[in-house]
């Protein structure tokens, strides 16, 4: 199908010649002799042209007024104006309204063709961006937080209310894998900042020195290796949303700088002489007890209260097992599409095993389990043997009798003491398990084991465990 070009020209001969020329170039041309005809084509017939080439002054008005109406209705397409007596005021207004170019008559045909070709490329790119944004809106609607349980319904109610108000800061709490990232994307793409950027960063994934530069940016020469200016993630998120996952990992001095940004809506990059104004909606998440960190002095109380304008606590999957009936088929369908499988039948024993499991990793663990089963499925039947949930379930009673204070489900680790594993094998198993549970993040795994990253890196190298370091290199 040919791309559409709307030509608005009141000079009959010129309009006919231009229309014939553009049709030879492969365009589907609609010729309008005045603004009324063009307005009907754009608004009543929903023409949606890729490019509009228009005379500036027409018998029934100024074409800039029509462009203004199109922009007010969020209409797309690139506009090119041709005029024999344009003014500076008209050219300035055209650029403010988003016109692609402003050319004086008579215009060389080759030059006009080049300008139209550039406008077409720009319009196609913008359409692609708009389509991607619409896809994001559909993917992250309020209903994307699936589930029929009372807990899931309550979360959707809060998300719906939050998406309708211009909040400045929000804290999302909940265990790891409960969907804090999903809730953030729902709030962004369903809210008033959907057209702006969504910038996400895991505060536990970067060392303190790199994290400060990534968040606040730096000027050229601010430190060794800073060869050019770097816009920080906060500045990049201006006009949109900044998601800080694991905010409890921020050092106290960075917490103070972040608080100032939230309060003043401005920041000073490293090495900069002046501040940069930003407009950011901040969403913070943590699976830790932030009020407890406030009490023990490892998290600033003023920052916590500033972030807690609104709070959203996401329930663990074991607290909403009824939602499995909605989550499991949806996740299976997703991985069917990715892998070309046709898994459709879920036997009763599979449902029983899924409901009996404690799900310490919550929805993230559920997704991993389903992905494995779908990839290994040979038929339309969901394979029970690849669930492999028995070892986790068996660990629950053993852990319950091991201590009067039962650890959280995600912190349990069962090691056989029947002689089947040597001490070195046990050590390797502990290190590998900690890395797996922290998604191969050395810093997080070291905190989990109560050791330093250097000590953990030594053991990783000793046992030949392949893992990505926090800085991005292999260890």
Predicted local distance difference test score (pLDDT) of residue 112? 92
Indicate whether this model's pTM tops 0.85.
no
Q: In total, how many domains does the chain have?
A: 4
Provide CB contacts within 8 A for 458, sequence distance 6+: none
pLDDT exceeds 50 at position 391: no
Same domain, 148 and 254: yes
Confidence of residue 246 (pLDDT cuts 50, 70, 90): very high
Between 436 and 7, the more confident residue is 7
Same domain, 341 and 307: no
pLDDT exceeds 90 at position 424: no
Give the C-alpha separation, 82 to 90, whole Å: 11
* Six-digit token string for 144: 């994307």
Same domain, 233 and 109: no
Same domain, 217 and 286: yes
pLDDT exceeds 50 at position 406: no
Same domain, 422 and 390: no
Predicted local distance difference test score (pLDDT) of residue 411? 61
Between 423 and 253, the more confident residue is 253
State the average pLDDT over residues 115-144: 84
Same domain, 375 and 423: no
Give the C-alpha separation, 276 to 267, whole Å: 5
Give the C-alpha separation, 33 to 49, whole Å: 16
User: pLDDT tens digits, residue range 280-304?
Assistant: 999 999 988 899 899 989 999 999 9
Same domain, 155 and 275: yes
Boundaries of domain holding 338: 317-412
Compute the half-sphere exposure of residue 112: CA atoms within 13 Å on the CB side of its CA: 22
CATH code of the domain containing 461: 1.10.10.60
**Domain endpoint, select from 315, 349, 370:** 315
Is 352:325 a contact under the CB 8 Å cutoff? no
CATH code of the domain containing 16: 3.40.50.2300
Confidence of residue 322 (pLDDT cuts 50, 70, 90): very high
Is 400:406 a contact under the CB 8 Å cutoff? yes
State the average pLDDT over residues 340-362: 93
CATH code of the domain containing 360: 1.10.8.60
CATH code of the domain containing 176: 3.40.50.300
**Domain endpoint, select from 90, 113, 136:** 136
Confidence of residue 97 (pLDDT cuts 50, 70, 90): confident
pLDDT exceeds 60 at position 390: no
**Domain endpoint, select from 381, 412, 443:** 412
Predicted local distance difference test score (pLDDT) of residue 66? 92
Predicted local distance difference test score (pLDDT) of residue 82? 87
Give the C-alpha separation, 370 to 51, whole Å: 47
Same domain, 322 and 309: no
Same domain, 330 and 394: yes
- The highest-confidence range among 20-29, 135-144, 200-209, 439-448, by mean pLDDT, is 20-29
State the average pLDDT over residues 148-155: 94
Confidence of residue 272 (pLDDT cuts 50, 70, 90): confident
pLDDT exceeds 50 at position 402: no
Confidence of residue 90 (pLDDT cuts 50, 70, 90): confident
- Of 14-18, 88-92, 198-202, 337-341, the one with minimum mean pLDDT is 88-92
- Of 71-75, 132-136, 384-388, the one with minimum mean pLDDT is 132-136
| Residues written for the chain | 475
3-state secondary structure at position 358: coil
Confidence of residue 471 (pLDDT cuts 50, 70, 90): very low
What mean pLDDT, rounded, does the chain reach? 85
Same domain, 207 and 247: yes
Confidence of residue 320 (pLDDT cuts 50, 70, 90): very high
Same domain, 82 and 124: yes
Give the burial class of 29: count Cβ atoms within 10 A of its Cβ; 0-12 exposed, 13-18 middle, 19 or more buried.
buried
State the average pLDDT over residues 173-186: 93
Predicted local distance difference test score (pLDDT) of residue 421? 67
Predicted local distance difference test score (pLDDT) of residue 397? 42
> Given CA atoms 205, 210, 213, 219 in this order, what sign does their dihedral have?
negative
Predicted local distance difference test score (pLDDT) of residue 331? 95
Predicted local distance difference test score (pLDDT) of residue 468? 55
- Of 65-74, 356-365, 385-394, 453-462, the one with minimum mean pLDDT is 385-394
Same domain, 353 and 364: yes
């Amino acid at each position: 199908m040919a791309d559409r070009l709307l030509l608005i020209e009141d000079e009959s001969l010129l309009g006919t010649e231009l229309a014939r020329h553009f049709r030879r170039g492969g365009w589907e041309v609609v010729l309008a002799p005045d603004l009324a005809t063009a307005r009907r084509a754009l608004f009543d017939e929903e023409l949606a042209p890729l490019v509009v080439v228009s005379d500036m002054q027409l018998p029934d008005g100024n074409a800039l007024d029509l462009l203004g109406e199109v922009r007010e209705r969020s209409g797309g397409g690139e506009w090119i104006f041709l005029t024999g007596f344009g003014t500076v005021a008209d050219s300035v207004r055209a650029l403010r309204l988003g016109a692609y170019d402003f050319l004086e008559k008579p215009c060389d045909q080759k030059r006009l063709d080049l300008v139209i070709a550039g406008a077409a490329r720009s319009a196609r790119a913008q359409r692609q961006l708009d389509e991607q944004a619409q896809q994001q809106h559909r993917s992250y609607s309020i209903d994307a937080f699936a589930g029929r349980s009372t807990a899931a319904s309550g979360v959707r109610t809060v998300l719906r209310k939050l998406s309708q108000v211009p909040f400045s800061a929000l804290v999302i709490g909940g265990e790891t894998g409960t969907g804090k990232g999903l809730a953030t994307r729902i709030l962004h793409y369903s809210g008033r900042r959907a057209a702006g950027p969504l910038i996400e960063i895991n505060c536990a994934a970067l060392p303190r020195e790199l994290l400060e530069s990534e968040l606040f940016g730096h000027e050229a020469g601010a430190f060794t290796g800073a060869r050019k200016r770097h816009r920080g993630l906060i500045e990049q998120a201006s006009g949109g949303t900044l998601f800080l996952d694991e905010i409890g990992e921020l050092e106290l001095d960075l917490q103070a700088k972040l608080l100032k940004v939230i309060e003043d809506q401005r920041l000073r990059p490293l090495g900069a002489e002046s501040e940069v104004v930003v407009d950011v909606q901040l969403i913070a998440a943590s699976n830790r007890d932030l009020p407890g960190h406030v009490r023990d002095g490892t998290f600033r109380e003023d920052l916590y209260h500033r972030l807690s304008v609104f709070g959203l606590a996401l329930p663990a999957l074991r607290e909403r097992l009824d939602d499995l009936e909605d989550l499991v088929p949806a996740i299976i369908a997703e991985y069917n599409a990715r892998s070309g499988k046709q898994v459709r039948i879920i036997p009763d024993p599979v449902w029983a095993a899924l409901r009996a499991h404690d799900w310490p990793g919550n929805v993230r663990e559920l997704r991993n389990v389903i992905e494995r089963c779908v990839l290994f499925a040979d038929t339309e039947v969901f394979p029970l043997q690849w669930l492999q949930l028995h070892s986790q379930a068996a660990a629950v009673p053993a852990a319950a009798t091991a201590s009067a204070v039962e650890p959280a489900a995600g912190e349990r680790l069962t090691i056989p003491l029947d002689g089947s594993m040597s001490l070195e094998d046990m050590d390797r198993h502990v290190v590998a398990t900690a890395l797996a549970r922290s998604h191969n993040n050395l810093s997080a795994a070291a905190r989990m084991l109560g050791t330093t990253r250097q000590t953990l890196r030594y053991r990783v190298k000793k046992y030949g465990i392949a893992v990505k370091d926090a800085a991005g290199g292999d260890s």
